[in-house]
């Protein structure tokens, strides 16, 4: 029987960003240089395939430093960043730590510190409980940073002094939702300071724009990414809002419900910043086994950002 034609619209840019690439490289280089075990506090990036791969090479993942013995082996902090209390505790225990926080997250940390030094209370736009939000709030004493997620939160906000406020954001939010929250903050607090552009990173911005470029033409859209990955969840959301109601997040090809492909002629495909390209290839190969696949990449921009690894690991 002849296979049905399936056009795959591949969003570009998609997949690994410079911060994820650097964070994974840091764990790999630490393993090469210091041998196993290399401890990693929190998933280095939110992807099971990446984490399992590094674990197989000798990385040991923990959630907190107190799970690590005093064996002199290095501990790497994940790409999402950590509250100040974490390096403080590591120093106290004379642990050897290597920070894999994305430089674009560290930039937000420094921004928050600067506003605090200038006497401003900070309003952070972000998702409660996310490690990046915990890390950014933890740069400053309790009460210095207030968290808002929604327009309702902005309306309900109680601040110390309306004339001394600044906002900053998580790096992996929806560009459009965040713009609406910033507008609401500016309307309520006209004197609020904020970043020149925004804190949402280039990778998040580009991946969302690339999804928008294919969503309306896609009968269904799949995003490779983990359920706990903020930037990946936003991609599925953006697809749904901008023209493809049938958008879903999947971790791997094995998660695909092929019954849903009935009547699908065009499949949109992308990957979050923490999902390796091999998982995109795996989905395309699984489609090839069932359909006559034509792949069309839709690229909205080129990316050429590279972040250097910390000096202690540089060759
Ligand atoms: O927070 C970050 C610096 C992004 C890291 C890469 O993505 P992921 O999925 O590990 O993290 P998010 O949940 O923040 O998107
Ligand atoms: Fe950094 Fe953005 Fe990636 S903050 S880790 S470049 S998703």
Task: Give the CATH number, domain containing residue 162.
Answer: 3.40.1010.20
What mean pLDDT is predicted for residues 194-202? 93
161: CA distance to ligand 1 center in Å? Answer: 32
Higher pLDDT, 175 or 1: 175
Domain end among 102, 135, 163:
102
CB 178 less than 6 A from any atom of ligand 2: no
Kindly state whether residues 47 and 85 are assigned to the same domain.
yes
Residue finishing a domain among 61, 86, 102: 102
Asked whether residue 314 is assigned to any structural domain, the reply reads no
Q: Is 203 in the pocket of ligand 2 (CB under 6 A)?
A: yes
291-306 average pLDDT score: 98
The response to whether residue 24 sits with its C-beta less than 6 Å from ligand 1 reads no
Do 56 and 12 lie in a common domain?
no
pLDDT at 192: 98
Q: Give the Å distance between the CA of 79 and the centre of ligand 1.
A: 7
Range of the domain at 233: 5-16+202-299
Active-site pick, 28, 111, 132, 237: 132
Q: What's the pLDDT at 50?
A: 99
Edge to edge, the sheet with strand 38-41 lists 59-62, 38-41, 75-77, 97-99
* Distance from Cα 21 to the centre of ligand 2, integer Å: 9
How far apart CA 105 and CA 131 sit, in angstroms, is 11
Mean pLDDT of all residues belonging to the chain: 98
Residues 206 and 250 in one domain: yes
Angle between helices 48-56 and 18-34 (to 10 degrees): 10
Are 209 and 291 in a shared domain? yes
Q: How far apart are CA 160 and CA 170, in angstroms?
A: 22
Same-domain pairing of 12 and 24: no
Q: Number of structural domains, the chain?
A: 3
What's the start-to-end Cα distance of the chain, in Å? 55
Residue-wise pLDDT tens digits, 224-243: 999 999 999 999 999 999 99
Q: Read out DSSP for 233-254?
A: HHHHHHHHHTT-S-EEEESSGG
**Is residue 98 one of the residues assigned to a domain?**
yes
Give the residue whose CA is nearest to atom 2 of ligand 2.
Answer: 201
- CATH label of the domain that carries residue 26: 3.40.50.11270
CA of 226 to the centre of ligand 1 (A): 10
Nearest CA owner, ligand 1 atom 14 = 230
- Asked if residue 306 belongs to a domain, the reply is no
Q: What does the pLDDT read at residue 75?
A: 98
Tell me the pairing of strands 75-77 and 59-62.
Answer: unpaired
Classify residue 315: in a domain, yes or no. Answer: no
* Residue 207 tokens, joined: 């991946």
Q: What is the mean pLDDT of residues 182-199?
A: 96
Whether residues 110 and 125 share a domain: the answer is yes
pLDDT band at 69 (very low <50, low <70, confident <90, very high): very high
Q: What average pLDDT score do residues 255-266 get?
A: 97
Residue bearing the CA closest to ligand 2, atom 1: 19
Helices first, then strands: H and E counts in the chain: 10, 12
Sign of the CA dihedral running 151, 17, 168, 116: positive
Closest CA to 45 of 71, 64, 21, 65: 21
Is 137 found in the same domain as 95?
A: no
Same domain, 240 and 194: no
17 lines ligand 2 (CB under 6 A): yes
pLDDT of residue 196: 85
Residues 147 and 68 in one domain: no
**Pair 111, 195 in one domain:** yes
Distance 105 CA to ligand 2 centre (A): 7
173 & 257 share domain? no
Average pLDDT of the residues in 134-142: 98
- Residue 315: its pLDDT value, please? 78
| For residues 273-279, average pLDDT | 98
* Ligand 2 pocket member 231 (CB < 6 A): yes
Q: Which domain-ending residue is among 53, 82, 102?
A: 102
Both 132 and 182 in one domain: the answer is: yes
Residue 1 above 90 pLDDT? Answer: no
Closest ligand relative to 171 C-alpha? 2
Our answer to whether residue 149 is catalytic in this structure is no
Residue 148: its pLDDT value, please?
98
pLDDT of residue 164: 98
The answer, yes or no, to whether any atom of ligand 2 lies below 6 A from the CB of 125, is no
What digits encode the pLDDT tens for the residues 81-129? 999 999 999 999 999 999 999 999 999 999 999 999 999 999 999 999 9
pLDDT at 198 over 90: no
Report field, pTM of the whole predicted structure over 0.95? yes
Residue 149's pLDDT band (boundaries 50, 70, 90)?
very high
* % of residues, the chain, pLDDT over 90: 98
């Amino acid at each position: 029987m002849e296979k049905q034609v399936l056009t795959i619209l591949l969003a570009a840019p998609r997949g690994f960003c410079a911060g994820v690439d650097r964070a994974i490289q840091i764990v790999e280089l630490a393993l090469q240089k210091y041998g196993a075990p290399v401890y990693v506090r929190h998933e280095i990036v939110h992807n099971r395939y990446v984490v399992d791969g590094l674990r197989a090479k000798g990385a040991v993942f923990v959630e907190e430093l107190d799970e690590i013995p005093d064996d002199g082996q290095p501990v790497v902090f994940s790409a999402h960043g950590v509250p100040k209390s974490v390096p403080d505790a590591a120093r106290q225990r004379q642990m050897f730590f290597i920070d894999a926080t994305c430089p674009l997250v560290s930039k937000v940390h420094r921004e928050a510190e600067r506003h605090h030094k200038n006497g401003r209370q900070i309003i952070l736009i972000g998702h409660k409980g996310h490690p990046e939000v915990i890390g950014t709030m933890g740069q400053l004493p309790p009460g210095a940073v207030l968290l808002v997620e929604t327009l309702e939160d902005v309306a309900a906000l109680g601040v110390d002094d309306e004339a001394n406020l600044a906002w900053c954001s998580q790096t992996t939010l929806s560009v459009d939702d965040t713009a609406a929250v910033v507008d609401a903050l500016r309307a309520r607090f006209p004197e609020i300071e904020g970043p020149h552009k925004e804190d949402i990173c280039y990778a998040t911005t580009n991946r969302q724009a690339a999804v928008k470029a294919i969503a309306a033409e896609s009968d269904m859209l799949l995003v490779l990414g983990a359920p706990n990955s903020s930037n990946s969840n936003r991609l599925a959301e953006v697809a749904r809002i901008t023209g493809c109601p049938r958008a879903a997040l999947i971790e791997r090809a094995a998660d695909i419900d092929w019954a849903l492909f009935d009547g699908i002629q065009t499949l949109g495909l992308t990957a979050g910043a923490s999902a390796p390209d091999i998982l995109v290839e795996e989905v395309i190969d699984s489609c090839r086994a069932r359909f006559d696949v034509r792949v069309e990449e839709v690229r909205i921009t080129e990316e050429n950002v590279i972040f250097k690894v910390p000096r202690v690991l540089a060759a």
